[in-house]
Amino acid sequence: MPDKAKVGFIGLGNMGQPIAGFILEAGFPLIVHDVRREAAAPLLARGARAVDSPGEVAAESDVICVCVPGPPEMEKVMLAPDGIVERVKRDTVCIDHTTNAPGVVQRVGSLLTARGAHLLDAPLDGGREGALDGQVTLFVGGDEAVLRRVKPVLDTFSKSVVWVGELGAGSVTKLVHNALAMSIDLLLTECLTLGAKAGVAVPRLVEAFREGCIVSNNMTFTKRMPSTLFRGDFAARFALKLAYKDFRLASDLAAKHGVPTRLLDLCELELLEAMNRGWGDQDRTKASTLQEERAGVTLRLPK
């Protein structure tokens, strides 16, 4: 890979736009595409160039990052007419940052291999907060030698890059990790409402949890909840509909491998109830207000 490889970036949403900005800031020539043309504007003002299709990105890039909401969007970017597979150059490395289904990743990977290109699945952990700081963690599946080639690009926006195995392993890791993270959200809310209902003031309870050893370093508790649930502000950092999609993908994975997931299934049902309330476009922590309703406790901190 050239020292300053041309990097293509497709998907400039809550995560993609700040991540692409760090790549640009590091001096890599950047070509971008998003179905919402206006999403590219901040990057264009800083020197990126926009094109009209994923295929155009592929035709000009040495490395292509894809950061879209889920499997259908990733397949469209890759497989549609004038998509990446149709126009990718030989030896290009495609990096899928989507929280994806492992089978989709593997199928697309085989098509890229047939074109002489490469695919890594490298979903992101750290949320929008990590993306804004350039401090996400990547769980990467695929050829480890190919990963070493593109690591200078990934290092521009990550605090750690963890190779987890063959293609598809990154997606498996992210699905089980997300299921754990979102289940912790719901368990935290249950415990906080119980403590508050039993007589401990919410600010004192939150301070105690921060000083304790169980959740003191948990990003949801230390960053996300203080900016969402504890303020009553549910503008989407990570939309509930995406969180529910991730639970469904984890459920599909469990069914495929015959692994019982009774506790995760309960958490998935909780998110389904929140979805049925019409909250899909709000932050995933909106689901925690269901427990507030049941307990008759509001977990807000003074400003």
Tokens of 5: 């490889």
If one looks up domain 7-166 in CATH, what number appears? 3.40.50.720
Report the distance separating Cα 205 and Cα 84, nearest Å.
51
Average pLDDT over residues 163-170: 98
Report the distance separating Cα 122 and Cα 264, nearest Å.
23
Residue-wise pLDDT for 68-93, tens only, equals 999 999 999 999 999 999 999 999 99
Which residues make beta-bridge pairs with 156?
none
Asked if residues 14 and 130 have their Cβ atoms less than 8 Å apart, the reply is no
Report the distance separating Cα 165 and Cα 121, nearest Å.
10
Average pLDDT over residues 127-133: 92
Q: Which residue has the tokens 């049925």?
A: 276
Straight-line distance from the first to the last Cα atom of the chain, in angstroms, rounded to the nearest whole number: 50
Average per-residue pLDDT in the chain?
96
DSSP 89-145: PTT-EEEE-S---HHHHHHHHHHHHHTT-EEEE--EESHHHHHHHT-EEEEEES-HH
Report the distance separating Cα 116 and Cα 124, nearest Å.
26
Average pLDDT over residues 45-74: 97
- Domain borders along the chain are 7-166, 173-295
Report the distance separating Cα 22 and Cα 34, nearest Å.
17
If one looks up domain 173-295 in CATH, what number appears? 1.10.1040.10
User: 6 pLDDT exceeds 80?
Assistant: yes
Output Rg (C-alpha) for the chain, integer angstroms: 20
- Sign of torsion, CA 174 179 183 185? positive
For the entire predicted model, the pTM comes to 0.93
Catalytic annotation, residues? 174
User: 158 pLDDT exceeds 90?
Assistant: yes
Average pLDDT over residues 168-186: 96
Strands 124-125 and 30-33: unpaired
Report the distance separating Cα 113 and Cα 171, nearest Å.
19
